[in-house]
Structure 1
Amino acid sequence: MSPFDLFPLGQPAFVHNTIDRAAHLRFHDDRLIALERSPSAHAYVVHRDSILLKRDGEAMRALLSVDEALGLGANPGTIFLGLRDGAALFGMGISQGAAEALSGRDDVAITELRGLAMQGGIPPDQLAGIAMAKSMVSWHQRHGFCANCGTRTAMREGGWKRECPNCKTEHFPRTDPVVISLVAHGDRCLLGRQQRFPSGMYSCLAGFVEAAETIEDAVCREVFEESGIRCTDVTYYMTQPWPYPSSLMIGCRAKALNEDIVVDRTELEDARWFSREEARLMLTRQHPDGLTGPHPFAIAHHLVGEWLKAG
Structure 2
Amino acid sequence: MRIAETVTFGGAGYDRAAALRGDAAALLPGARVLPLWRGKPLCAGPEALGWVPPDSPVLAAASEPVFLGRVEGQALFASDTSTWSPEAGAAGVEQGFLDTSEQRHPALPDPYAYRELRAVMAALTPLDAELAATAKALLHWHRSHGFCAACGAATDMAQGGWQRVCPACGASHFPRTDPVVIMLITRGNSVLVGRNGNWPEGMYSLLAGFVEPGETVEAAVRREVLEEAGIRVGAVRYLASQPWPFPASLMLGCAGEALSEEITLDPDELQDALWVSREEMVAVMAGQHPRLKPARRGAIAHFLIANWLADRLD
Relative distance call for 1:91 and 1:198 in structure 2 (3 A) is same
Which of 17, 20, 28 is equivalent to 1:22? 17
**Do the aligned partners of 1:75 and 1:94 also contact (CA within 8 Å) in 2?**
yes
Shift of 1:299: 0.5
From the two aligned structures, give the one with the greater helix fraction: 1
Shift of 1:181: 0.2
Amino acid at match of 1:196: N
Q: Share of identical aligned residues, percent?
A: 43
Considering only aligned residues, what root-mean-square deviation do their CA atoms show, in Å?
2.2
**1-structure distance, mates of 2:234, 2:154:** 47
Relative distance call for 1:99 and 1:132 in structure 2 (3 A) is farther
Shift of 1:76: 4.4
1:48-96 Cα shifts (integer Å, max 9, x gaps): 33122357xx99742222222x544352411111111111011111133
Which residue is 1:81 aligned to?
68
1:299 aligns with 2:300: yes
Match runs of 1:1-311 below 5 Å: 11-27=6-22, 29=23, 32-38=24-30, 41-53=31-43, 61-68=49-56, 71-96=58-83, 98-100=84-86, 105=106, 107=109, 108-118=112-122, 120=123, 122-287=124-289, 289-310=290-311
Aligned residues: 292
SS in 1 for 2:182: strand
**Do the aligned partners of 1:180 and 1:206 also contact (CA within 8 Å) in 2?**
yes
SS in 2 for 1:218: helix
Amino acid at match of 2:86: E
1:165-224 Cα shifts (integer Å, max 9, x gaps): 010010111000000000000111100011122211111000000011100000000011
Shift of 1:236: 0.4
Shift of 1:103: 5.5
**Do the aligned partners of 1:195 and 1:269 also contact (CA within 8 Å) in 2?**
yes
- Please, which runs of 5 or more residues in structure 2 have no aligned partner? 88-102
1:277-309 Cα shifts (integer Å, max 9, x gaps): 11111111121x141211330110121122222
**1-structure distance, mates of 2:311, 2:118:** 29
Q: TM-score, normalised on structure 1? A: 0.87
Which residue is 1:3 aligned to?
none
**Do the aligned partners of 2:4 and 2:240 also contact (CA within 8 Å) in 1?**
no
1:141-170 Cα shifts (integer Å, max 9, x gaps): 101111111111000111100000010010
- Please, which runs of 5 or more residues in structure 1 have no aligned partner? 1-7
